[in-house]
Structure 1
Amino acid sequence: MSEIQLFDNGEFELHITPVGDSFKIQAPGLARSLAFHSAKDMLRTVPGDEKGWETAPTLGGEQEMWHVTEAGFYRVMGQRQASRIKNEAIRKQVTRFQKWVFAEVLPALRRGELVAQQRPAIPEDYAAALRRVADEVEARALVEKERDEMRPLAEAYSQFMESDGTFEWAAVAQILTRVTGGLGRNNLLELLRDLKVLKDNNTPYQANYEPYFLLVPGGHGVKTTRVTPRGLDWLRQRLVKHFNHQPGLFAIGEIA
């Protein structure tokens, strides 16, 4: 296996492994730099052929490690739009990282310079150094705070599930509230009809049916549509795309 190389500017680092004329990058460090909750969150929208996992050396010994290919790297960099991040400290962190990647890392990769130990410039003064440290500490604290706030929803997730392992539409609307901005059951159904996910009778189109939905027989021969766990995550991705949000910022990303 090719030796892992390091790009490091003192604040961010990328562990890169040459693969022929291309490369792959360890996902955990990339996810932290882009302010995702975890590598798993970052990789949700990455196709299978643009990511993978393997055994990699760490300070704690050999561990299974996710990575992204060159194509996957470009994908997550392009998807992470700093301007859409509401928290200023996190937005600044992502902006600094992307600027470093675009200005330093990618040009070095194009030149074939995989070994690039780039040290940060000395701050202009002591106050500037303190501001930089404070920004980094605040960004990390805010990410941890958001994760803690999401835990109650994760714990309540199983309570929404019916005995057959599916979800009723009111529960779906509640679970996806941070994606939809708080749409209730009826408004969510109306939106899904507009998006051609559901027909006028709230049953799924055949192309969307399995394995995302389950039709449950009801009274008078009427069937009720329930959403499977896979369907819940599929709907989340459809709605994220519709609202043009950031996939890694929603509570459902922690529990789906």
Structure 2
Amino acid sequence: MELTPFTFDGNAVRVITDEHGEPRFVASDVAKILGYRDAEKMTRRLPVEDRGTRSVGTPGGEQDMTVITEPGLYIAIFGSQVEGAERFKRWIATEVLPAIRKTGGYQVAAALPQDFPSALRALADTAESLAAEQAARAIEAPKAQAWEDFLSANGDYSVNQSAKVLSRRAGTIIGETRLWKWLAEHKWTYRDHSGQRAYQKRIDTGHLVEKSHAPYTDPHTGEEKVRGVQVRITPKGLERLDRGLSGQFELDIEGVA
């Protein structure tokens, strides 16, 4: 477990990156920024799978820290009433998470390039970062909804993660099973011999994507096999589902947002 220190408005925000490269946020740091009385009050509102403890090496030795997942962080932000919650979420979405996923850590200052090729690469990286930031702002401005800030910055989501976020938005528990059922009934997904699949129409409209699972070796034959694909919901798909939830989970599925 790697612990990376961040600073938001003078407050420490410690992020633990697990063996799969996924971030875990130290709950006490998040609770302080979001105005919760304490970390326990914040984390008890979260699903069990989105909170836990991690043992981390610190200058004072190994410590068990209460941490929350990325979906858990979003739920905590949605429940916060402090004025700075919006800005905190935007900072997480546009600066912290992209830095972790690109480099495995938060780089406060980059080393100066030592030669011309290195300088060109650094310039290209800077231009890419600026373009991404401008694109994120262009998406955020017209929507005027806080939750769109992180949706526009963080790629796609599993059906399980999407159900948690949509549940908070709708004010009722949707659950992964119910969401899968709805997706099948409304011709977003179907099941074949390999498992759950996305209809091509929903891929073409940008609501869903399919991602391949990592291959594995059959212990009996030694052959390398593929487990199939995972259906994931895009930010555009989440936005459309969120609009549908406000109408008692009914959508005009023929229309395209």
TM-score range, shorter chain: 0.3 to 0.5
Higher RCO (Cα < 8 Å, 6 or more apart): 1
Q: TM-score, normalised by structure 1?
A: 0.36
Scaled by the length of structure 2, the TM-score of the pair is 0.36
* Structure of larger gyration radius: 1
Task: Please identify which structure carries the higher helix content.
Answer: 1
Q: Which has the higher strand share?
A: 2
